[in-house]
Amino acid sequence: MSRRPFIAGNWKMNMDHLQSIALVQKLAWTLKDAKFDGSSVEVAVFPPFTDLRSVQTLIDAERFTLAFGAQDLSPHDAGAYTGDVSGAFLKALDCSYVIVGHSERRQGHGETDEIVAAKVQAAVRHGLVPVICVGETEAELAEHGTSAVPVAQTKAALAGLPAGTPVVVAYEPVWAIGTGKVATPEVAQEVGAAIRAAIAEAMSDEDAAASRILYGGSVKSGNIAGFMRQPDVDGALVGGASLDPTEFAGIARFPDHVGA
């Protein structure tokens, strides 16, 4: 089973809609100049909601081989939910993906495992592939070890999903996000394998084999190769480094430096 590597850029609350156009253009041109093979590695951007229409229009008009998605969605489809954004609206903008359960939302917005699971269901209802973020804090790492929290969060997020539903899971140790502290490739592999086993348990062996598992947390062009050499790491969810198109293109071009 070969999984197409997935390099995803989570812009967080950066870039207004005008800046988003410049960033996507520069990213696409940089990849093109480098003769990047967009069919062998999938590259996706996750801009703020307010940028999505501009990003969609640009990618569509220029036929860039870039995917895009949103950083969050409502667990509800429509109605009196001030400030929420429905998965239906994201699908109408051609989003392929939506990030669910990022630790910045679990921690800063009180998103529980139940809320995350409801958002995963909402994404799937609207034909969006959820990029489900899991990961332990430094305190949880000390108390429970490496895999326990990410595995429990994965199982909770996948609860009730029928076999055959496409999902992406991103292992993002909270202590590695935006800190410059990076998990070792060996730890990413250990947790990636444990997450894959959790997908098999929650869904099926076929789903486990087909699902892409990403590592996230201070990924840069200089450290991506070590992660991509791991059999259970199929890509990266990149925060800070995705705001620099040259650096992000360098991460997407990991096949150029992963060998050796």
240 binds ligand PGA (CB under 6 A): yes
Determine phi and psi for 66, rounding to 5 degrees.
Answer: -125, 140
Q: Give me the catalytic one of 104, 111, 172, 190.
A: 172
**Which residue of 168, 183, 219, 224 would you call a contact of ligand PGA, by CB under 6 A?**
219
**Angle of helix 148-158 versus helix 113-125 axis, rounded to 10:** 50
Q: Which residues of 59-71 are buried (b: 16+ CB within 10 A; e: fewer)?
A: beeeebbbbbbbb
153 binds ligand PGA (CB under 6 A): no
**Which residue of 127, 145, 164, 178 would you call a contact of ligand PGA, by CB under 6 A?**
178
Binding to ligand PGA by CB under 6 A, coded x per residue (else -) over 94-133, reads ----------------------------------------
Neighbouring CB atoms inside 10 A of 158's CB total 22
From 27-35, 149-157, 200-208, 237-245, span contacting ligand PGA (CB under 6 A): 237-245
CA-only gyration radius of the chain, Å: 17
15 binds ligand PGA (CB under 6 A): no
Cα 210–chain centre separation: 16
Task: Identify which of 167, 175, 98, 168 has the alpha carbon closest to the alpha carbon of residue 135.
Answer: 175
**Which residue of 154, 218, 221, 230 would you call a contact of ligand PGA, by CB under 6 A?**
218
Task: Identify which of 256, 228, 206 has the alpha carbon closest to the alpha carbon of residue 7.
Answer: 228
- HSE at residue 220, side-chain half, CA atoms within 13 A, is 10
47 binds ligand PGA (CB under 6 A): no
Nearer to ligand PGA, 155 or 220 (CB): 220
Q: Give me the catalytic one of 102, 140, 190, 247.
A: 102
Active site residue 172: yes
Q: How far is the CB of 234 from ligand PGA (least distance, A)?
A: 15
Beta-ladder partners of 43: 7
**Which residue of 69, 101, 192, 216 would you call a contact of ligand PGA, by CB under 6 A?**
216
69 binds ligand PGA (CB under 6 A): no
User: Rounded CA gap, 145 and 158, in Å?
Assistant: 22
Residues interacting with ligand PGA, by CB under 6 A?
Answer: 10, 172, 177-178, 216-219, 237-241
Q: Which residues are catalytic?
A: 102, 172
